[in-house]
Amino acid sequence: MDKRTKILGIVLSVSMLMIMIPVLLNLLMFRYPWLNYAFAVGAIGTLVVRLLDKYQGDNMRIKRLYRISTVSAICYCLSAYLKFSAELHFFPYATGYDWLGFLMAGAALQIYTAFVIGYVEKKELKNKMKNRE
């Protein structure tokens, strides 16, 4: 693993924590104004990492999965936007919890891609070893 990949992994981990902790505190009814900003910075950090982390191989399925993980980061950013718009009353019929839909969609896509990328890469490595024999 090269240095760039390690740095992107660390930034992604910190960004995910910056998403998870404000959401958890918000759901536990702790209302601090800085939580929205921490959530938004985490969402943007996740998007930046996903845009910089490109798959360099030839497997089209893994390329598609990397794009899906980028879509999950976009869902986090939309969730952050809806979180701010609910507090600033941009939408007259907003319930205040509309952001949770995009957050859950992004989390579902993130979980799916995390498991399937590992599975497909392991399968590809197994096929390469089999072809060498």
Query: Which pLDDT score is estimated for 79?
Result: 94
Residue 93 pLDDT:
65
Exposure class string for 99-119: b at 16+ Cβ within 10 A, else e: bbebbebbbebbeebeeebee
Predicted structure pTM score: 0.88
> Distance between CA atoms of 98 and 120, rounded to whole angstroms?
34
What pLDDT does residue 94 have? 65
Which region holds residue 29: left if phi is over 0, alpha if psi is between -120 and 50, else beta?
A: left
Backbone φ and ψ for 9, nearest 5 degrees, come out as: -65, -40
Rounded-to-integer distance, Cα 100 and Cα 91, Å: 16
pLDDT of residue 102: 93
pLDDT confidence of residue 38: 95
> What are the per-10-residue average pLDDT scores of the chain (133 residues)?
90 96 90 90 97 89 94 96 77 74 95 94 88 79
Quick one: pLDDT at residue 58? 87
In this prediction, residue 131 carries a pLDDT of: 84
